[in-house]
Structure 1
Amino acid sequence: MHSSITAALLAATTVLAASAPSCSLTQKCPSDTPCCSQYGQCGVGAYCLGGCDPRMSFGLDSCVPAPVCQSKTYNFDSMDRITSNTKYLGDSSKTDWVMDGAAVIYNDNVLLTMAPDTVGTLLASSTYMWYGNVKATFKTSRTQGVVTAFILLSDVKDEIDYEFVGADLKTAQTNYYFQGIPDYNHGTNISLSDTFNNYHTYEIDWTPDQVTWLVDGQVGRTLKKSDTWNSTTNQWMYPQTPARVQLSLWPGGLESNGQGTIDWAGGLVNWNSPDISSNGYFYATFQSVTIDCFNTSSAPGTNTGVSYTYNNAAGTNNTVVDGDDPTVLASFIGTGTDMDAGKASGSSAAAPSATAETVPGRSGENPGTDNHAGDTGSSSSSAAAGSSATSTAADSSATLGSSNGAFTQGDPSSGSSTKSGAEKLGAQENVLKGSMFAGIVAVVAVMAL
């Protein structure tokens, strides 16, 4: 029975994953799955929320409008304001962080965990910054191949980041990108004390004219917009569009990643390391995040409205609209052009095809845009090969997925080989309780359509 169920689940996942079209600037999403997710695949529901790229979607309005910036300090003493991406529908008033993976509260910190057979954990802010200041106090993970990241990432893939390779605990790597265009001369390192054993406060001060990276209040690097002009394309190659704050722990040393990424990460992940043996997973420890919005009186950088949208596929700061469009979907079959699809009171436009994916998944690649050393690798080139197959019901919490047949984004509390070891740290877990039965029902329901 167990093997039959497993085979059915894997088969259904394969069918659904294969049905998700890829998207790019030259290959936009089709109308029935109009939203291009952060990972380059088309779908509906959560595909249309945070990370949805309007330039690669069916239309600029396919993506759900992004909640505007909110100045706030986030302390991690409970899971109350952290919501799984299988449940979040865009209401930032009820959720501060959207989670892909498994987070654990421990001693008034949140641990981003990465157990064997998973690709780690990603927390993304529910609101967007359009310039401003953000500080995060945390300890990184450790061990070769294991990467901790604190980044700003916009839907059009502008990025400002800190990355930490577990094999080098005395270096903070900084980088930036304009619309995800790779340039491997942009990186600069900042030296500091042991990042695993010591808390440090990492800061990004971002204005329309300058980015400053600071560690513990000390300036480590400065980038001026005036130094980013590209005379060939006649544009500023400078991060300039509303971005989510992302905190992540991910396996740069995953065997299915490109060799350049593996080498950059210090080699393959050792899944028999002391942290795995003692706790059941690798972990990065985040204490707090503080966001201060730019608060200018006129664009760019305002947050006077409800949401950010784009009025042109150029995806530059002069195409951003700070307006009053709603940000909340009625269900996971909704899109930016049909926010009420699936609403209990009645039907609206035609539902998407039975194989439409509703929640994008990761398959081991960098949650940002940098694939390192110019390689794409098998994982990056098919970023959503393991995207989650979920029920279109808004209250479904079961998620299935695979990462090139080896690693899945899953819940360490689900009873599989990824069982959490949080109790060994004395923590009280409050992570997404995925139900195998719900998963079976969801898959059978989808296959029956």
Structure 2
Amino acid sequence: MPSFMKFVAAALAVAAPLASAQTYSDCNPMEKSCPPNKGLTESDIHFDFTKASGLDQWKISGGKVPTGSNGAEFTINKEGDAPTLVSDFYFFYGELSIEMKTSHGQGIVSSAFLQSDDKDELDWEALGTKGDTIMTNYFGKGDTSTYDRELWVPVSAPTESFHTYTIQWAKESTNWLIDGKIVRTVNYNDAQGGARYPQTPMNIRVGIWAGGAPTNAQGTIDWAGGPTDYSQGPYSMYIKSITVKNANPAESYTWSDKSGSSDSIKFTGSNAVSSRSTTSEAATSSSSEAASSTDSPSTTTEGTSSAATTLATKTSGSSSAESTAASSSAAGASSSGAPPQRF
């Protein structure tokens, strides 16, 4: 089963029906020279989406995103709607917390995730027909040769109430937390020895899309819970706030080579940190507190922590798998029951 299904560029969301908005890369630095990523110079920043000013550092696509007492509103009224916010900055290790209420509705998907230009990715994804679980997932370098990384974790009434969904992202491990409690941990070495561990600067992408749209492959529709009935809408998700703790503030992040390794990222600008950090104190502190809650049955840890190894020596061994994934068709996924193609 998949994470974000068949997504394309946000700019195409209006031009193509259900060309959903979130997963894409304008320029992949592992394939060619690309401009530096605009960095986040603050180590801690909070966006209050109950106020219009909260959208100042965000790009809107795929529809309108009004603000109000429930925060930013992402609504599907008709086929083709996929309102999305994308941060105009990247950050590099740290913590993302999103105060969110997901949407109800068959085939409706509420998404919140981080993605880098080489398609490293850390996800939250909720289906409108699942009232007690939400999906966590990750991808490294856009590799979709397997779909064995997703994990559904329990959450209470996500379509009826706000919860705080947090990703603590560090060099050696990543934690997913709900309302301050760890529900999943992935270590660097769990992801093909680090070759598929997310480790490059990411921006933030949040939005809603109809996985059950009739234009989607059957595999996507089945995964999303069935066909979307637009007459039963509108379907809305809400985000009250987003908080980011950036472990490595900088005006920009420059890819010094095509390895896709965290060690290849250079910090630029007068506000750049003098020495890189692999995590943030806040993330470490929260992780320790959450880890001490041993009475939580939902906590899942995958593997054991391992020191980072050099990615450049790992990627070539997986290149054929990526090629296979890129060429697999959504129709084939539909007939086999496997998840549809990602971009």
2:181, 2:23 → 1: CA distance? Answer: 32
Instruction: Show the counterpart of 2:29.
Output: 54
Q: Does 1:316 align with 2:261?
A: yes
1:108, 1:142 → 2: CA distance? Answer: 16
Instruction: Show the counterpart of 1:77.
Output: 50
The normalised TM-score by structure 1 is 0.54
2:257, 2:23 → 1: CA distance? Answer: 19
1:242, 1:192 → 2: CA distance? Answer: 29
Instruction: Show the counterpart of 2:236.
Output: 283
2:246, 2:110 → 1: CA distance? Answer: 24
Instruction: Show the counterpart of 1:217.
Output: 180
Kept after mapping to 1: 8 A contact 2:94/2:246: yes
Kept after mapping to 2: 8 A contact 1:75/1:108: no
TM-superposed CA distance for 1:69, in Å, is 5.3
SS at match of 1:312: coil
Kept after mapping to 1: 8 A contact 2:256/2:264: yes
Kept after mapping to 2: 8 A contact 1:145/1:268: yes
Kept after mapping to 2: 8 A contact 1:96/1:126: yes
SS at match of 1:272: helix
Q: Does 1:293 align with 2:246?
A: yes
TM-superposed CA distance for 1:127, in Å, is 1.6
The normalised TM-score by structure 2 is 0.69
Report the residue type matching 1:204 in the other structure: I
2:52, 2:126 → 1: CA distance? Answer: 25
What percent identity do the matched residue pairs reach? Answer: 28
Instruction: Show the counterpart of 1:67.
Output: 39
1:269, 1:108 → 2: CA distance? Answer: 24
Mind listing any 5+ residue stretches in structure 2 that lack a counterpart? 1-11, 17-21, 271-333
Instruction: Show the counterpart of 2:159.
Output: 196
1:109, 1:39 → 2: CA distance? Answer: 26
Q: How does 1:165-314 map to 2 (within 5 A)?
A: 165-182=127-144, 183-230=146-193, 236-273=195-232, 276=233, 281-294=234-247, 302-303=248-249, 305-314=250-259
TM-superposed CA distance for 1:228, in Å, is 2.2
CA RMSD of aligned residues (A): 2.7
TM-superposed CA distance for 1:324, in Å, is 3.0
Mind listing any 5+ residue stretches in structure 1 that lack a counterpart? 1-13, 19-36, 41-46, 83-94, 295-301, 326-370, 384-449
1:69, 1:180 → 2: CA distance? Answer: 27
Kept after mapping to 2: 8 A contact 1:68/1:308: no
SS at match of 1:103: coil
Q: How does 1:107-118 map to 2 (within 5 A)?
A: 107-118=69-80
SS at match of 2:66: strand
Kept after mapping to 2: 8 A contact 1:68/1:307: yes
Instruction: Show the counterpart of 1:128.
Output: 90
Report the residue type matching 2:257 in the other structure: N
Distance change >3 Å, CA 38–CA 266, structure 1 → 2: closer
Flag the structure with more relative contact order, 1 or 2, with Cα contacts below 8 A and sequence separation at least 6.
Answer: 2
TM-superposed CA distance for 1:208, in Å, is 0.3
Alignment: residue pair count: 259
2:28, 2:262 → 1: CA distance? Answer: 15
Kept after mapping to 2: 8 A contact 1:112/1:121: yes
Report the residue type matching 2:259 in the other structure: A
Deviations 1:117-141 (A, max 9, x none): 3331111122212110111111000
